[in-house]
Chains A and B, each alone.
Chain A
Amino acid sequence: MPTTPELSTTPGELSPPSGGRLANFRLIPRIETYSAVVSFAQTLPGKLALLAVFALGLAYNHRPWGPLVFCLALITFLPDRRRILLTVSTLVFTFLVPWSGFSNPLYVATLICLTILLGALLFWSVARWPRSWYGRRAVLLFLSGFAALVVFAAKTPRDAWFGRLLWDFTIMLSTYIWFIGYSLLDAKTASHDAFKLQLGSYRPFWGSTDTPFAKGASYLRRIEARSPEQLAVTRLKGVKLLAWASLISFFSDIYQHYVYGSFRIPTYSQALSLSASHVPPPWYLCWASLIANFFGGIISLSILGHTIIACCRMAGFNALRNTYRPLSSRTVAEFFNRYYFYFKELLVDFFFYPTFLRYFKKHYKLRLVASIFAAACFGNAFYHFSRDLNLVHSVGLARALQGFQVYLFYCFALATAISISQLRRRGPAPSGFIRGQLLPSFCVVFVYCLLDVFGATERNYPLVEHFRFFARLFNLNM
């Protein structure tokens, strides 16, 4: 069984639609396919040149590049020790790099150690007894235990030291749950990595949100470069991706300047706030704010994802992009895949597959819809609620849940839209640019713009205010 994709024969990205000369035009040339460049990238001057160019790119994108490039240099010159160096670098970036920024360094470091210790204990238990009752339900039990911990911590008075410690630990654990989850999934397999290598994927040094970028150790093991040539190709693709991030970042500055400066389009938050104050902007400005918010979201996520994946590739892991041509999506489900790939993968791995493989096996449509709702509705809501636990701290569990109603509605609407998209019979794209590409893409953007009315994770306004804004888009006053 092959354990790694062949770099020379696979596109390395989600496959692009076929097209003519215009579709094949590339702003940044495919330098990883030029044999002279690949050969040069394997030499000492080539490796140093790539690191220098990468450092420049990071500096342009306002990323602290010193420690990052140092770690990448270590991994570059000691490729045989890549995985263990990944763990060392991740620990450096977990403890040492942010040390001076911690409000109480020893306390925070203790909380992180406790979290890692819990992860190690759970991992060891699953690896030891993979076929036991616990081993087969490890992720489910872990996530349920975490939810119970949140309730318990929220109900424990925080005046005493125990209450504060419990709450701080819960918050710290919330930033690691999906990383621990991926290591538990890996622990069940026969070929799993030891915990010291799993640790390298716990908020890896190349950066991450609460969503594990490049998933867990199991995925890293499979996409790791296996030869000097593969490594050179992967690193060249990393430099290229950072160049993309820099270009988009440059474009983003112009976008912000014109859209919110010269054209004075209100941000979505401002438009919603005006609508809630009963002085709504005209309907066309509501649309403009929503569309600007939608494209702004794609731009900022692309910059973030490209920068992180570029670092990951520079470390020798041929990870897929996080955001890849979202506007070329022809269905709602395809957009969800192309917009935030690793978040979608998280929902699929932790919620979709477990539901799909276990329930309603004799009823395909019900099975599919139930799995989509488990992922895009329940999983999505669970992820965002646990991500924003500070809200529970400030307003209490009951009010935090109440404030979550808008996002819950968004999750429900999103799952419904994806279900409809998936249940419709898939077929080849109609011919012609307008019917085959432009019209479906326009419909997808339209649906997601409407969903975005409810997708904002700020909790300032009740659901009814979002519906009022929604009606305003169609020049209706509620």
Chain B
Amino acid sequence: MDGVEEIRVFLKKLLALRADRQPFSDQSSLFLSGRLGSVDAVEVVVLLEEKFGIDFTETGFDQVQIDSIDAIQSLIRTANVSK
């Protein structure tokens, strides 16, 4: 499973825990729309730290950075470039 697919599955699991089974695209807003909350953001942060080595103390954190799959991909790209 590649990184993006892993994130997709992970987000789907988080939504399922909230009994949200609506489909979502790579552009769908998940946090600003309220489908996921700050508790879920914490789990996404931990995943990105562990799997992709992103250090938010360096980059700073804003929920919009992980609001959609596209946003997460862009965050990962930026983090890789600055390494």
Binding site for B on A (CB under 8 A): 1-6, 9-18, 188-189, 218-219, 222-223, 320, 333, 337, 344-345, 348, 352-353, 356-358, 361, 364, 368, 371, 422, 426-429
Q: Does B38 sit at the interface, judged by CB under 8 A?
A: yes
A426 contact set on B, CB distance < 8 A: 17
- Closest-CB distance, A17 to chain B (whole angstroms): 4
22 contacts between A and B (CB under 8 A): A1-B64, A1-B70, A1-B71, A2-B27, A2-B67, A2-B71, A4-B29, A5-B29, A5-B32, A6-B28, A6-B33, A10-B33, A10-B34, A12-B34, A14-B34, A18-B21, A333-B39, A344-B38, A352-B38, A353-B61, A361-B49, A428-B17
Inter-subunit contact B28/A10 (CB<8 Å): yes
Inter-subunit contact B18/A15 (CB<8 Å): yes
Closest A residue to B35 by beta carbon equals: A15
A357 contact set on B, CB distance < 8 A: 45, 56-57, 61
CA distance A337 to B39 in the complex (A): 9
Closest B residue to A223 by beta carbon equals: B32
Inter-subunit contact A422/B39 (CB<8 Å): yes
Q: Does B80 sit at the interface, judged by CB under 8 A?
A: no
Contact check: which of B21, B29, B71 meets A10 at CB < 8 Å?
B29
Q: Does B42 sit at the interface, judged by CB under 8 A?
A: yes
CA distance A9 to B21 in the complex (A): 13
Closest B residue to A338 by beta carbon equals: B37
- Closest-CB distance, B58 to chain A (whole angstroms): 10
Q: Which of B41-76 contact A (CB under 8 A)?
A: 42, 45-46, 49, 56-57, 60-62, 64, 67-68, 70-71, 74
Q: Does B9 sit at the interface, judged by CB under 8 A?
A: no
Contact check: which of A11, A14, A429 meets B37 at CB < 8 Å?
A14
A16 contact set on B, CB distance < 8 A: 19
Contact check: which of A11, A333, A344 meets B35 at CB < 8 Å?
A11
B39 contact set on A, CB distance < 8 A: 333, 337, 422
- Closest-CB distance, B29 to chain A (whole angstroms): 4
CA distance A356 to B32 in the complex (A): 20
Contact check: which of B16, B19, B22, B38 meets A337 at CB < 8 Å?
B38
Q: Does B20 sit at the interface, judged by CB under 8 A?
A: yes
B21 contact set on A, CB distance < 8 A: 18
Inter-subunit contact B38/A2 (CB<8 Å): no
CA distance A422 to B70 in the complex (A): 28
Q: Which of B32, B57, B68: most chain A Cβ within 10 A? A: B32
CA distance A125 to B61 in the complex (A): 20
Inter-subunit contact B33/A11 (CB<8 Å): yes
CA distance A8 to B5 in the complex (A): 25
- Closest-CB distance, A70 to chain B (whole angstroms): 30
Inter-subunit contact A13/B61 (CB<8 Å): no
6 nearest interchain CB pairs? A10-B33, A5-B29, A15-B20, A5-B33, A17-B19, A348-B38
- Beyond contacts A12-B33, A17-B19: 9 other A-B pairs, Cβ-Cβ < 8 A, are A1-B74, A2-B29, A2-B70, A9-B28, A10-B29, A13-B34, A348-B38, A356-B45, A428-B19
Inter-subunit contact B34/A356 (CB<8 Å): no
B56 contact set on A, CB distance < 8 A: 357
B27 contact set on A, CB distance < 8 A: 2, 6
Residues A222 and B19 in contact in the complex (CB < 8 Å), given A1-B74, A2-B67, A14-B37 = no
A348 contact set on B, CB distance < 8 A: 38
B67 contact set on A, CB distance < 8 A: 1-2
